[in-house]
Structure 1
C-alpha cells in the first residue's frame, strides 16, 4: 500500500546521555510512565537470556492501532491530531510507514550506534486475538476488552540503556530536543505515588478447578481423536485495582527479573509484562526464536531446587511437548527463510527464573531475499508455544473451551527499527490493566499423557510471583 503520512528530510543523532549516579532505568522512565504511548522494553536485570539493553520510548510522532478490523493512523506531530482510517492490515500499513520513515532519515550517525538495537522506529504490541485477522477463526467469546488488537508508535526519539557499558544513549531526529533528565527523574506529576496502587478485590479465576479439569478432559478427547497433538489451555484471573499501573509493574519486575519485560501505557489501558520468552528476532538477516515448553517450580532449598530442574530436563512428556513446538516453529519461520538455513542449535536447554525453571530450545535461520521482518512476524503469529499443534485447529479448540478471549495474553511486544532489526516477546506472565480491573492469565501445553491435576497446579506456579505480589496491598474501604 501507499503510506498516507509524509515525512520531511531529517538527520539522526546518537549521543551518550549523562544521568546522575544511582539513577536507574526505572527512575528515568517514571517521569514519562503515565504519558499516553510511553513504553519501556526492559531486560529486567536478567542474565538468563543474555539480555543487555533497555529501551525507553515516549511521545511518538505517529501511532498505529487496530480494533475490530479497522486500522487507524494518528499523526501526532502537529497541534491537532490527524486521523486516517483504513481496512488495510496494520502489518501492511506498518511496512509502508516504516519504509518511508527510514528513507527520510540521513543515517550517517548510525555508524556510532555500535550494538544498539532499534535506535528509532516502530514499537508496540500485537494481541493474541490479532490471530483472527490472519486466519478464519470462530468468534464464540465476546471481545470484552478496551485494549486494541494492535497498537504501535513510530518513535522519533528513544533512550537506550546498555547494561554492559552501564551507559545511557539518546537517539533522536534533529528536530527533537534533548530530554531534561533532572526534570524526568524529579517530576512526580507524571506518575502516581507508590502508595496509591492497591487491589480492591481478591483475584478470581474465570474457571473453578472442576471446570478447568472438565475442559482438560475435553482437550484430551480431541487429542485422542487426532484433532491435535498439543493444545495450550489457560485460565484467566481478574481483580479490581486502584492507583498506578506503573507501580504494579515495578513490583512485578522486582520479583521476577524477566528478560522480556515490558510496560506500555495507552489511553484505554496499560500492559504489564514480565515475560521470559522471546518470540521472533531478526537482526542483519539472522532469525532466531526461543520457544519455552516445560515448567517446574523453584524451591528455596538448593537441593530440592536442583532436583526440580533435573526432573524437568529428564521428563519425556516435557521433551516431547517442546519438540512438537520446535517442529511447528521450524515450519513457520521457513516460510520467510533461505531454503536449508533452518537449524536447531539448542534443544531442551534449562533457563531458571525466580518463580520457575523452564525448558527452552533455540531455532535459527536466515531471512530470505525479498522477505520483510514484519512479514516474518505475521507468518509466525501467534507463537506456536502458546497455541498448540497443528496451530489453527488448536486455536479453534482454545476458542471453544476457554470462556474468555485472551487479549494481550500470548500476544507479543515487538519493535522494528530503522536498521531493519526486529525483536519480539511472547506475552506470558502478563497483566492487562483497564477500567480499574487487572486481568492475568496462566496456561500450559496439554498433550496426550498430561495429568489434569498437575497441569492445574502448573498454572498456579506460573503466576506465583505475580498474583501474590500484587495482592500485598488492598485499598482502604
Structure 2
C-alpha cells in the first residue's frame, strides 16, 4: 500500500495590490496547457478568486469515443475508451491521493491543486444516446483537462496572491514569480482578416424558429435553445484579444485556455455547478435585456425584464430541469431554490438569474454530479434530451466548446464550472486561423422571431465589435 505523503504548501506572495492575475499569466499565456480562470475585475459576488495553472503533470483529451491519457513521467499517450470524466477522476486520485495530501493552510482558497480544463458541449453525447449528424470540423477536443501540481491564486477581497503547490512535483518558487512581474514583455497584436460571417441568415434563423414552434406546439418540448455561430479569419496573439474582451465585459466566470492548436476565450457570466464541503449550487440564466447608455432607458430595460411573464416562465422551466438534474446526486429533500428571478447586470446585458442548491449524496462524487447535469439545461432547453436532438437537427455546425463548461475539480473534492456562453474558439492550426463565437436564446411558444434574433445579437454586442474595432485600430492607428 502506498502511504506516501503529499505536502501541500500555500505560500503568500508579496506582490503590489494593484497587480492583477493577468500581469502574471501573460508570462505563461503562450505555453500550451496554461489556463486562467478569471473574474475579470468584476465586482460580482461570485468573482472573488482568480486562478492560473501551467505545466500539467498529466492530461486527458477526448475526441468522440476515444480519449488519450498523457503522463509527464512516461511522456506517452495511452489510448482509452473509458468514460472521460471517470478517467479524469481516477487520474487525479492516482497522482495525488486526496487522503494523502497534507497541509493547505488556507482552507478558504479554492482548487489549489487538482484537475482543471475544458468540458465541451459535444461531450454530452458520451453520456446520453443522442444524434451526431454534423461534421466535426474542429481540432479542439471535446474534453481537455490537465492535472496540475501547482497554481497561483488571487483573493480579490484581500488583494492577496498565493502560490500553492505539492512539494513532490516541479513548481515555480515565489522568487520566480517575483522575477516575472519585474519583466516587461513586448507588445503583441490581434487582427481579424475577414468580416464576421454568421452560419445562418436572419431568414434561415426565422425558418428554424418556425420549425421549433411546430415542435413546441406538438408537445415535443417546452423550450429549445437555438444558437447561431459567427466566424472570421484572424492573425496574431489570442491573449491580446482576450485582454480587450475581459476589460470590456468584466464577466465573473471568464477564462483563457491555451492549447497547441489555438485558444479558448470565455467571458461567461454564468456559473454551472459548484461544490464546496459537499454543498452544491447552480445559477441558471434565462431572461436578457440589452444595456443602455442612458440611465433612464437602462432602468426601463430592467423593469421590462423583471415584469416579463415570458422570461420568468423560461427561467422557471430551467430551474425545474436543474432541480431534477441535481436530485440525481443530491440527498433527498436537500434540493432548494433560495433565489428565483434575481436581476444581475453586466457590461452588455441585464440577466434574470435563479439559484438552485443541494447537498451531495455520500455515494456520489462531484464528477457524478457534473455528468448527471451535463450539458447545462439553461443552454439546451427542456426536456433536455429531446431539446438536444432538435438542436442537432437545426443548427448547421457542432457546438464544440460553446455551451460546454470550463472549471476545476480540486484535490479535496471542491468543484466550480461555468457555462461557456459568450465564448470564442480560436483554431490556429488551420490554413487560415479561424475564430468562432456563438450566441443563442431559449425559444418558447410565444417567442417572436425578430426579437429572438436581436437578442442573440445583443449577447455578442460587447464581443464582435470589440475585436473588429481592435483590428481596425491596428490597421489605421
The Cα shift of 1:369 comes to: 1.1
- Over 3 Å counting, the alpha-carbon distance change for 1:48 and 1:22 in structure 2 is closer
SS across alignment from 2:19: coil
1:142 and 2:135 correspond: yes
Distance in 2 between residues matched to 1:21 and 1:86, nearest whole Å: 45
* Alignment-derived partner of residue 330 in structure 2: 337
Which residues of 2 match residues 40-439 of structure 1 at below 5 A? Answer: 40-76=36-72, 78=73, 81-103=75-97, 106-110=100-104, 112-175=105-168, 176-179=171-174, 180-185=176-181, 187=183, 193-194=187-188, 196-435=189-428, 436-439=433-436
Say if 1:263 and 1:270, in contact at 8 Å, map to a contact too.
yes
1:12 and 2:8 correspond: yes
- Over 3 Å counting, the alpha-carbon distance change for 1:269 and 1:154 in structure 2 is same
Distance in 2 between residues matched to 1:139 and 1:374, nearest whole Å: 24
SS across alignment from 2:320: helix
Name structure 2 gaps, 5 residues minimum: none
SS across alignment from 1:272: strand
* Alignment-derived partner of residue 3 in structure 1: none
* Alignment-derived partner of residue 21 in structure 2: 25
Query: Structure 2 length normalisation: TM-score?
Result: 0.95
- Deviations along 1:295-316, whole A, 9 cap, x unmatched? 0000011111011011001100
SS across alignment from 1:231: strand
SS across alignment from 1:472: helix
Distance in 1 between residues matched to 2:98 and 2:221, nearest whole Å: 48
* Alignment-derived partner of residue 456 in structure 1: 453
- Over 3 Å counting, the alpha-carbon distance change for 1:104 and 1:315 in structure 2 is closer
Query: Structure 1 length normalisation: TM-score?
Result: 0.95
Distance in 2 between residues matched to 1:139 and 1:152, nearest whole Å: 23
The Cα shift of 1:43 comes to: 1.1
- Deviations along 1:441-462, whole A, 9 cap, x unmatched? 0000000000010000000000
Distance in 2 between residues matched to 1:68 and 1:267, nearest whole Å: 19
Bigger mean CA deviation after superposition, 42-51 or 26-35: 42-51
Distance in 2 between residues matched to 1:177 and 1:324, nearest whole Å: 47
Distance in 1 between residues matched to 2:184 and 2:78, nearest whole Å: 34
The Cα shift of 1:182 comes to: 4.1
Say if 2:226 and 2:441, in contact at 8 Å, map to a contact too.
yes
The Cα shift of 1:215 comes to: 0.6
Distance in 2 between residues matched to 1:404 and 1:124, nearest whole Å: 23
The Cα shift of 1:23 comes to: 2.7
- Deviations along 1:85-134, whole A, 9 cap, x unmatched? 11011111112112233327753322x11310001000001100111111
Say if 1:129 and 1:405, in contact at 8 Å, map to a contact too.
yes
Say if 1:146 and 1:269, in contact at 8 Å, map to a contact too.
no
Q: CA RMSD in A?
A: 1.7
- Over 3 Å counting, the alpha-carbon distance change for 1:7 and 1:328 in structure 2 is farther
SS across alignment from 2:85: helix
Q: 1:444 aligns with which of 432, 438, 441?
A: 441
Say if 2:121 and 2:403, in contact at 8 Å, map to a contact too.
yes
Name structure 1 gaps, 5 residues minimum: 1-5
Distance in 1 between residues matched to 2:260 and 2:102, nearest whole Å: 35
Bigger mean CA deviation after superposition, 352-361 or 134-143: 134-143
SS across alignment from 2:51: strand
Distance in 2 between residues matched to 1:384 and 1:177, nearest whole Å: 39
- Deviations along 1:250-291, whole A, 9 cap, x unmatched? 010000000000000011221000000000111101010000
Bigger mean CA deviation after superposition, 61-70 or 43-52: 43-52
Say if 1:193 and 1:244, in contact at 8 Å, map to a contact too.
no
Distance in 2 between residues matched to 1:306 and 1:164, nearest whole Å: 29
Distance in 2 between residues matched to 1:185 and 1:217, nearest whole Å: 55
State the 4+ residue runs in structure 1 displaced beyond 6 angstroms.
none
